[in-house]
Amino acid sequence: MENVFLRGRNDGYEIEIPADRNFTDSLTDLQALLKKVRAEDTSTTEISFKVRTGRRILTADQRQALYDLVAQFTNFKILEVTADVMDQQTVATLLRSKQVHLVPNTIRSGQEASYDGDVVLLGSVHQGATLKASHNIYVVGTAQGILHAGYPDNAEAIIAGNLQQAAQLRIADLVEIVADDQSITRAQFAYIDDLHKLITAKLTELPKLKPKLYQQLEEQ
């Protein structure tokens, strides 16, 4: 069983550290892979790495160990470390808001749940089920049905988190069928842009694309 995967990209490499592998073993295997990359590429050009950790949030010590390992190699640099789940700090910030509703249960096929305010989905939305919120929806659990944020006409709302399995994403009056969009992955958020189109982007882009919302989250 491999403990780490290294894939080439146009702008460098992607490192995948599966959540079900022992992290120490993954670092050992990664070191061997990086030595191989260094041996094959002796240029002085900087080589960048994007790290994905799946459904595992790295601890501060784990992140430091990862960065220290890559720093051992000249001109190697980590651009970002992303996971397919929302981190605990983000969830804790959301929970401090008075308008946040926790949904720990399962919304089954044929059912519809509607909330006034923000929603943190801890449970699941089955196929054929619908979750509506007047503001934002944050997916920590799983969603295979319809997620409708900004219901009925709040175009400033977003849907963030694990979006890959959702049947549809809806914000205000716009709809995105996820099955038709192969670019949608887990750690993303959906929003309506200046041209009134429903767009998805990486969660790491939230501060740039939705600065007001990001500032509100930081202030809570």
pLDDT tens readout for residues 63-114: 899 999 999 999 999 988 887 766 666 666 665 555 788 898 999 999 999 9
Ranges 29-43, 74-88, 128-142: which has the least confidence: 74-88
> Is 88-219 a CATH 3.10.180.10 domain?
no
Give the residue from 169, 168, 166, 171 showing the smallest Cα distance to 192: 171
3-state helix, strand, coil split of the chain in percent (to 5) is 25, 35, 40
CB count in 10 Å sphere of residue 89: 10
Please report which helix (H) or strand (E) contains residue 130, including its range: strand 130-133
- CB atoms closer than 10 angstroms to residue 151: 21
Residue-wise pLDDT for 202-211, tens only, equals 888 888 888 8
Question: Rounded to 5 degrees, what angle do the CA atoms 168, 83, 116 make?
Answer: 45
Residues in the chain: 220
pLDDT at 48: 92
Please, are residues 169 and 175 in contact by the beta-carbon 8 Å criterion? Answer: yes
Higher pLDDT residue, 125 or 208? 125
**pLDDT, position 131:** 97
In the 3-class helix/strand/coil scheme, how is 90-112 assigned residue by residue? HHHHHHCCCCEEEECCEECCCCE
Give the whole-number percent of the chain exceeding pLDDT 90: 51
Which of 9, 6, 12 is CA-nearest to residue 47?
Answer: 12
- Cβ neighbour number for residue 61 with a 10 Å cutoff: 9
Number of neighbouring beta carbons within 10 Å of residue 28? 13
The pLDDT mean for the chain works out to 86
Q: Which residues pair with 12 in a beta bridge?
A: 9
Angle (CA) 189 11 4, round 5°: 75
What is residue 187's predicted lDDT score, i.e. its pLDDT?
A: 78
In this prediction, residue 55 has a pLDDT band, given cuts at 50, 70 and 90, of: confident
Directed axis angle between helix 23-40 and helix 60-71, to 10°?
20
pLDDT reading at 212 higher than 60: yes
Cβ contact 170:155 at 8 Å: no
Residue 87 has what pLDDT?
A: 65
Q: Does residue 16 surpass a pLDDT of 60?
A: yes
What pTM value is reported for the model? 0.60
Dihedral class, residue 107 (left if φ above 0, else alpha if ψ from -120 to 50, else beta): beta
Q: How far apart are CA 172 and CA 170, in angstroms?
A: 6
